[in-house]
């Protein structure tokens, strides 16, 4: 019999996440471990892959979807303009577990509505909104390095704490 291993991580595994370093690190570790398993066990007919979902409509994302401003910020960065569904992730897993993927191993399957395909300039526009939503303030751009694709935002929060974010 041929065995299939399908793990689920997050886009944070390949792109990081502001104020979520611990989350990004664990998802990156899972991605790396799955690739190592793919190489180690391929000789036994085992394939191993990782699904990297984008914004998916689940109970855990409910609080983001009910806030109109946050939802608008999230969806403005997704080219398909909607939340993914859990059955779409399940279908991706079924594909990776099926014979249709029998000559694949160690791959990342990104299911994100096009979020990761957007250029930095387009993602940046949504990122400004997300920083404001997370810190409770409207960010102001205080610097930009166009060669590196970074934008530094500064926020003044309700508690008077300044938050600087590099996007």
Catalytic residue list: 23
Q: 104's torsion region: left (phi>0), alpha (psi -120 to 50) or beta?
A: beta
Q: To which residue do tokens 């370093």 refer? A: 21
Q: Distance (Å, rounded) from C-alpha 85 to C-alpha 62?
A: 13
Closest CA to 14 of 33, 32, 1: 32
Q: Distance (Å, rounded) from C-alpha 23 to C-alpha 56?
A: 17
Name the token pair of 153.
Answer: 């935002």
């Amino acid at each position: 019999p041929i065995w299939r291993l399908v793990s689920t991580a997050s886009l944070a595994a390949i792109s990081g996440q502001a104020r979520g370093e611990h989350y990004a690190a664990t998802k990156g570790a899972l991605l790396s471990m799955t690739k190592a398993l793919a190489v180690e066990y391929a000789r036994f007919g085992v394939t191993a892959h990782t699904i990297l979902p984008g914004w998916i409509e689940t109970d855990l994302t409910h609080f983001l979807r009910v806030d109109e401003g946050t939802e608008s910020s999230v969806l403005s960065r997704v080219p398909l303009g909607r939340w993914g569904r859990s059955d779409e992730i399940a279908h991706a897993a079924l594909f990776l577990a099926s014979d249709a993927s029998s000559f694949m191993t160690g791959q990342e399957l990104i299911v994100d509505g096009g979020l990761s395909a957007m250029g930095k300039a387009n993602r940046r526009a949504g990122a400004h909104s997300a920083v404001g939503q997370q810190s409770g303030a409207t960010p102001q751009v205080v610097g930009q390095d166009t060669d590196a694709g970074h934008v530094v935002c500064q926020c003044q929060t309700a508690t008077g704490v300044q938050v600087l974010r590099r996007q």
